[in-house]
Structure 1
Amino acid sequence: MRTALFHIPKTGGTSLHDFLAPHYPGNEVCPERFRNFERFSPEQLEAYSYFSAHMDYDRFRRLPAPLYSILVLREPKARVLSLYYFWRAHSWRIIEARELEGPRLARELGLLDFLRCRAEDVASAADNYYARCLLGRHWTGPQGELKMADDAALEAALNHLSGFDTIGFTEDMPRLFHDVTSRLGIAMPAELPWARASRSYGELPDMEPVVREEITPEIDAELDRVTRLDRVIYEEAQRLSWQSAPDATRGSGQQPE
């Protein structure tokens, strides 16, 4: 079955990708991991059976059908905080060597100023990122701003959300792995893999330990602002996922939080 993991950063998608990719022949795994599917012809894309990338809806629609599509979401405020501290954990050496603008700003700015930052690298990755991904790149302006009114953006994003075959959640990875393996007819892993965890940042090359800030009322208000659409999308995704769950799963106590 041709499969596509619509990988949203900081949701646990790397763990799922690392588990799924070996189940496909190496020459059928698309090497693109950062949404640049335009570099492939339609015939080249047809040759692949597995896609996994940080994509948006425009790029996702380029993938050949029929396609089993997987989307993983995380509670939106938690995802933004995870992104900030992941970027902030990057060492200055790797930031300068690779010219990483997002991590540079995370190192320079406290959490409140980071959330208010309008630099494109920050705004496009932290400000209602689910809505941006589900809308597509053409609806994001030069400063990372959404070029649609909130109501229209939300309506379009929710419409696209409903088209995914499996929607899973970082908060309930066992159920996500169960749903995906059942759909693909492969065995559940004996132990769920975790590719990265914030607690191990200091143990990774070019990463350093980070200290988390207290969430003040001001910070929480900014988190509300930059997730105002994503929280609605997340709640609707939970409703869709739970509505489509088999009866056995409904009674298992595994409902997403």
Structure 2
Amino acid sequence: MRVALVHFPKTGGTSLHDFLVDKFPPKAVCPERIRSFERFTREELQQFDYFSAHMDFARLSLLPGPLYTITVLREPKARILSLYYFWRAHSWRIIEARNLTGPRRAKELGLLEFLKHRSDGIPSDVDNYYARSLLGRHWSGPRGEIVVSDEDALRLAMRNLLTIDTIGFTEDMAGLFQQVTRRLGVEMPAEMPWARSSKNQVNLPDMEAVEREQITPEIDAQLNKLTRLDRVIYENAKRMFVQQSFV
């Protein structure tokens, strides 16, 4: 079975990837982990049975089928906060060595200033990320802004989301693993893996402990603005997931 994991950052997708990748021979695993599937020919892509990347819906459409597709959603405001503190925890050494723009801005800026930052590609990672990813690049402007109305964006994003076979949630990773292992006919892991958990993050090389800021009304208002579409997508998907789980 050919499998594609549509990995939204800071949702627990790395844990699922690390579990799934061992189920395939190394030569059957596509090495692309970001989104640049255009660098492969159609014939080269057909040699792979497992794809896992921070891809949008347009890139997913490039992959040869038939595919069993999986994604993981997390409460949108929690996802943004997790991304910010993950980036902020990077050491200056690794930021400078790898020229990491997102971590550099998170290191330099307080939470509110970071959320308001409108350059360096940051909006593409935090501003209604689910909606833009599900719409695909054809519906985004040069800075990642959505170029259709909120109503149309939600309609198109939900339509595309519901073409994905298994939609899981960070808040119920055990349930997601049960769905995926049942579909693939493999055993559940003896212990749930958490590859990038904040509990062990400070033990990773070039990662530092960070203090979390209090969520002020102004910060919360900015988070609400940046997730106005994603929260609708998340809640709709969650309702549908619960309904389907009882069918």
Aligned residue identity for 1:180: V
Tell me how far apart the structure 1 counterparts of residues 109 and 151 of structure 2 sit (CA, whole Å): 31
1:108 counterpart residue number: 108
Tell me how far apart the structure 2 counterparts of residues 121 and 98 of structure 1 sit (CA, whole Å): 16
1:210 counterpart residue number: 210
Q: Structure 1, residues 152-209: CA drift from partner, whole Å, max 9, x if none?
A: 1111101101111000000000000000000000000010111011232321111110
Q: Structure 1, residues 49-81: CA drift from partner, whole Å, max 9, x if none?
A: 111000001100001111100010000000000
1:254 counterpart residue number: none
Unaligned runs of 5+ in 1: 248-257
2:220 counterpart residue number: 220
Tell me how far apart the structure 2 counterparts of residues 122 and 198 of structure 1 sit (CA, whole Å): 22
The answer as to 2:180 corresponding to 1:180 is yes
Aligned residue identity for 1:22: D
Pairwise CA distance, 1:143: 2.6
How does the TM-score come out when normalised to structure 1?
Answer: 0.94
Q: Secondary structure at the match of 1:195?
A: coil
2:23 counterpart residue number: 23
- CA RMSD after TM alignment: 1.0
More deviation, 50-59/195-204:
195-204
Structure 1 runs (4+) greater than 6 angstroms displaced? none
The answer as to 2:14 corresponding to 1:7 is no
Tell me how far apart the structure 2 counterparts of residues 226 and 120 of structure 1 sit (CA, whole Å): 16
Contact 2:123 2:144 in 1 (8 A): yes
Unaligned runs of 5+ in 2: none
Percentage identity across aligned positions? 64
Contact 2:101 2:120 in 1 (8 A): no
Alignment of 1:53-68 (within 5 A): 53-68=53-68
Pairwise CA distance, 1:32: 0.6
Contact 1:174 1:192 in 2 (8 A): yes
Q: Secondary structure at the match of 1:24?
A: coil
The answer as to 2:176 corresponding to 1:198 is no
Pairwise CA distance, 1:141: 2.1
Pairwise CA distance, 1:246: 4.6
2:157 counterpart residue number: 157
1:168 counterpart residue number: 168
1:253 counterpart residue number: none
Q: Structure 1, residues 68-103: CA drift from partner, whole Å, max 9, x if none?
A: 000100000000000000000011111111111111
Alignment of 1:10-159 (within 5 A): 10-159=10-159
Q: Secondary structure at the match of 1:188?
A: coil
Q: Structure 1, residues 204-229: CA drift from partner, whole Å, max 9, x if none?
A: 11111010000011100001000000
Q: Structure 1, residues 108-145: CA drift from partner, whole Å, max 9, x if none?
A: 11111111110142100000000011011222222332
Tell me how far apart the structure 2 counterparts of residues 206 and 153 of structure 1 sit (CA, whole Å): 38
Contact 2:28 2:48 in 1 (8 A): yes
Contact 2:7 2:71 in 1 (8 A): yes
Q: Secondary structure at the match of 2:202?
A: helix
Tell me how far apart the structure 1 counterparts of residues 168 and 67 of structure 2 sit (CA, whole Å): 17
Contact 1:69 1:166 in 2 (8 A): yes
Tell me how far apart the structure 2 counterparts of residues 133 and 144 of structure 1 sit (CA, whole Å): 10
Contact 2:132 2:144 in 1 (8 A): no
Q: Number of paired residues? A: 247
Aligned residue identity for 1:184: L
Contact 1:119 1:144 in 2 (8 A): no
Q: Structure 1, residues 4-24: CA drift from partner, whole Å, max 9, x if none?
A: 000010000000000001111
